[in-house]
Amino acid sequence: MGGYDQTLEPFLWRAETIYPDREVVARTHEGINRYTYAEYADRTRQLANALDGFGIGEGDRVGTFCWNHDRHFETYFGVPNMGAQLHTINPLLPDKHIQHIVEDASDRLIFLDPSLAEKLGSASDPDAFESVEQFVVVGSTVPDVSLEPLTDYESFVSDQSTEYDWPELSEDDMAGMCYTSGTTGKPKGVEYTQQMMWSHTMAMLTPQALGIEDSDVVMPVVPMFHVNAWGMPFTATAAGAKQVFPGPAPEPADLASLIEEEGVTITAGVPTVWLGLLEYMKENEVDLSSLEQIVIGGAAAPKAVIEQYDEFGVDVIHAWGMTETSPVGTVSRLTPALTDAAFDTKVDKWGKQGLIMPGIEFKVVDDDGSEIPHDGEAFGELLVRGPWVTTEYYERPHANETDFDGSWLRTGDIVTVDDDGYIEIVDRAEDVIKSGGEWISSQELENAIMAHEDVSEAAVIGVDHDRWQERPVAMIVVADDVDREMLTDELKTMLQEEYPKWWLPDGFEFIDEIPKTATGKFSKMDLREQYEGKELLEEDAPADAAPEDD
Ligand code: AMP
């Protein structure tokens, strides 16, 4: 019997005790903020006092609607350490998803960035937001939006005492929550216990994962609303590393200057971000000499990106994960047998999603549930289980029946495993689209398009895209006498009203018929095959298709 619970609080305690002067730096709406772990820890206790004073107690959910910055980071320890549950909300989602998420989670208080206030305001349906008793803007000016009651973060926190006795928590207490919108239907809630976040942090510290050390300078570009920025703020704190937060919607120029000025050694984000930095570096001089590793995940790391960063002496660490896996599950590091391999072989391995992290298990099964051979050819669905893999969705019994097999999570990713143990994603079980690291539901777009009276059938498929990895294209069937140009304009206007700009299809293709399966369902696989290699994207569309634009 260990008799000691695995919770997050000792990570903060250690950082404050051993590394009181190590810095936490943030690019914010108001300029660069800089303080130390000692000051940071005081702020987390002030925040806990403020929440306590407001009446937030153990088990209550506190939402955040924020970019990556120091105040958001204060909620990372401040909220779970006091026994409440930190619910990070993705501001890039369509309004109705945000409504569902807030209603489902019953958040009592929401912290929000001033630049996102308008978005939250437009999503704040009174019924869905009934549970929210207070909005707190993280900035000195309170914007004029319809969020009531509204105060600002400094007024909420800064007069509070820096003393707070963290309660003794159980490792089974809920610490975090994040919704996944990858599959069809409404976003599903994943809850993280203290133990899940503790074990994920410990595994991330190992050299098999990120191997973050106290000498590192860590900059998560992956948003803090995406599964705790892949756990990097917790891992960096556990290590006592310096942390750098790139703030609201960072541009490549912002990232370049933070890397140079703060001496960033390890950073992380979706491929689009790193493609953007490469593009920027064609025109601008950037000193990447401090940078050792870029962690790429959320979508496949293109081999060309791995090779180009290698030329700058930067290792790309390709990782795979899911909201359901807290999130990191595999990391593509070379085994000793491969360290002297030819460069092409290494790039080939780095381009795969990688090796399972120590602590979790996987298996890959075919349609009959039999495990496939690890020969790099046979493929099947990836199933994982382990201490930081969830075994259920929050209040979604139906999804729990289909997406789990006992303690195994069915990932929906179709993979091969080679004889060195490297997992590679080759397909997805469901037809969903990931653009710039963010999900777009093809089914929702199809339903919206088919609601138009002139449309007989519509299917939305993901098409490969250099910058965004995938973009949606609508394949539409109409009667001969329909004016297609007019219909396209009408559809665009209709979709724009309901969905963020980056959800809008980049192509509207009129076809004779959508191929069907034997049971009469749309066969997206056949459709994709039929149109493979055909230019489906409108030329100018992708430029304004950035999730960050919304
Ligand atoms: P999310 O829950 O939004 O983090 O999405 C998880 C899904 O993103 C996975 O099931 C994969 O389909 C996809 N994904 C995550 N990481 C990678 C990667 N490195 N390569 C390809 N797909 C990935």
CATH of the domain at 526: 3.30.300.30
Going from the Cα of 240 to the center of ligand 1, the distance in angstroms, rounded, reads 28
Asked if 43 and 74 touch (Cβ cutoff 8 Å), the reply is yes
Q: How far apart are CA 430 and CA 524, in angstroms?
A: 10
Name the 3-class secondary structure at 497.
Answer: helix
Residue 533: is its pLDDT beyond 90? Answer: no
Residue 349: is its pLDDT beyond 90? Answer: yes
Residue 543: is its pLDDT beyond 50? Answer: no
Whether 358 maps to a domain, the answer reads no
Q: Which of 192, 211, 245 is the C-terminal boundary of a domain?
A: 192
Residue 25: is its pLDDT beyond 80? Answer: yes
Whether 280 maps to a domain, the answer reads no
pLDDT at 545: 47
Cα 440 to chain centroid distance, Å, stands at: 13
Summarize pLDDT for 132-157 with one digit per residue, the tens: 999 999 987 778 898 999 999 999 99
- H and E: helices and strands count for the chain: 17, 26
Residue 1: pLDDT band with limits 50, 70, 90: low
Whether 54 maps to a domain, the answer reads yes
Going from the Cα of 411 to the center of ligand 1, the distance in angstroms, rounded, reads 9
Residue 429: is its pLDDT beyond 90? Answer: no
Pairing label, strands 31-36, 23-28? antiparallel
Residue 516: pLDDT band with limits 50, 70, 90: confident
Determine what percent of the chain is predicted with pLDDT higher than 70: 97
Nearest Cα residue to atom 15 of ligand 1: 298
CATH of the domain at 183: 3.40.50.12780
Residue 518: pLDDT band with limits 50, 70, 90: confident
Residue 6: is its pLDDT beyond 60? Answer: yes
The closest-lying atom of ligand 1 relative to the alpha carbon of residue 432 is 12
Q: Find the domain containing 87 and state its range.
A: 1-20+34-192
Q: How far apart are CA 85 and CA 475, in angstroms?
A: 42
Give the residues surrounding ligand 1 with Cβ less than 6 Å away.
Answer: 180, 182, 297-300, 318, 320-323, 327, 353, 411-413, 425, 428, 439
- 3-class SS letters over 373-435: CCCCCCCEEEEEECCCCCCCCCCCHHHHHHHEECCEEEEEEEEEECCCCCEEEEEECCCCEEE
Residue among 320, 382, 409 whose CB has most ligand 1 atoms within 8 A, to mutate: 320
Of 125, 129, 139, the C-alpha closest to 104 is 129
Whether 496 maps to a domain, the answer reads yes
Whether 285 maps to a domain, the answer reads no
Asked if 318 and 301 touch (Cβ cutoff 8 Å), the reply is yes
Task: Give the CA count within 13 Å in the CB-facing half-sphere of 160.
Answer: 22
pLDDT at 548: 54
Whether 13 maps to a domain, the answer reads yes
Determine what percent of the chain is predicted with pLDDT higher than 90: 86
Burial class (CB in 10 A: 0-12, 13-18, 19+), 287: exposed
Going from the Cα of 198 to the center of ligand 1, the distance in angstroms, rounded, reads 22
Residues marked as catalytic: 180, 324, 434, 439
Name the 3-class secondary structure at 261.
Answer: helix
Q: Which of 192, 221, 256 is the C-terminal boundary of a domain?
A: 192
Asked if 13 and 240 touch (Cβ cutoff 8 Å), the reply is no
Summarize pLDDT for 284-325 with one digit per residue, the tens: 999 999 999 999 999 999 999 999 999 999 999 999 999 999
The closest-lying atom of ligand 1 relative to the alpha carbon of residue 227 is 4
Q: Mean pLDDT score of the chain, rounded to an integer?
A: 94
Whether 350 maps to a domain, the answer reads no
Q: Which of 192, 217, 241 is the C-terminal boundary of a domain?
A: 192
Q: How many domains does the chain have?
A: 2
Whether 134 maps to a domain, the answer reads yes
